[in-house]
Structure formats: structure tokens, C-alpha cells
Amino acid sequence: MNNLEKMQVERWDGYSYWNHKISIFEKLLSHNLKTTKYILNLYLESAYKCYLNNKQNDQIFTLIISYPGIFASEVCVFFDEGYFQSFQTRNDEYQKWEKQSSGVMELFNLNIPEGCNVINYKETITDEDFSFNGIQTIIKYS
């Protein structure tokens, strides 16, 4: 997690966002609620420190926690408000995100960092041979 705290966001010409997948060993999180809560709170704190180290007015710094597929979680920095909004619009025959009043923060009673906005989605992915339901929680640091 120290690596996350010290990470420098790189802005590349022509790209509307920067992301970094968070490597969480899922077996740590699958059996013990107390351990899951502790580790996720550490990631929230580390992402907040990363945000403070990279804070710029023209970017939107987020931590996206996927559940139950925690391995898909990531820090994502958007350089364009329009792209951030379109990123959240997922409504086609294969993937849908529906806004929810609660998500991962409430599920695990996590500490919401000061000044953050939390956006929750129910995620449904459907393919010919596959169906998945989960949660996407976006913590928008500001």
C-alpha cells in the first residue's frame, strides 16, 4: 500500500484517464469480515494519500471498488468531466450499471474519507454463457 501512496499519476496526451489496478489477494477477503474491512479501509486511506500527492484542479481522482471481484478494483484518474460521466453510463445488452443507494462502503461499514463523494452501482453482466451480478462503488476524492 506504500506503493499506492507514493505513486505518481502520469498524464498522457490523447488519453482521458489514467488507471492502476489494485492487487488484492482475494483469499484474504473471502473468509473474515473483520480482515476484509481492515484491508479495504487501508486501501481507502492509501488512495486518499495518493490523491493528496497528485491533487490537481483539472482531474477527478477516484477509487473504484468492485465486489465480489475485488481484484478488478482500481484507482482511476479522469482528466475530463465528460469522460468521467460517460464511464459511468453502462447500459447495453451485455453490461448494465444501475445507481443504488448503498454499496461496498455500507456493506462493510467502511470509513468514508473526509470530503469524498460515494457513487454506488449494481452491475449486471450478461453474455451467451455467462451471467454476473456485483457492485461497483466509486469513491470520488475532492
DSSP for residue 25: -
pLDDT tens-digit series, residues 90-110 = 999 899 999 999 999 999 999
Residue 26's pLDDT band (boundaries 50, 70, 90)? low
Q: List, for residues 32-80, the tens digit of each pLDDT value.
A: 788 888 889 998 999 999 999 999 888 999 999 998 888 889 999 999 9
What was the pLDDT predicted at 47? 92
Q: Which residue has the cell 502520469?
A: 10
Q: Is it the case that residue 8 has pLDDT exceeding 80? A: yes
Q: What is the pLDDT of residues 110-120, one digit of tens each?
A: 999 888 999 99
pLDDT at site 65? 94
Answer whether residue 136 shows pLDDT above 60: yes
Query: Cell 477527478 maps to which residue?
Result: 60
pLDDT for 6 equals: 83
- Report the greatest alpha carbon distance in the chain: 44
> Where in the chain are the domains?
16-141
How many CA atoms are closer than 13 Å to the CA of 43, on its beta-carbon side?
27
Q: Helix or strand or coil: residue 47?
A: helix
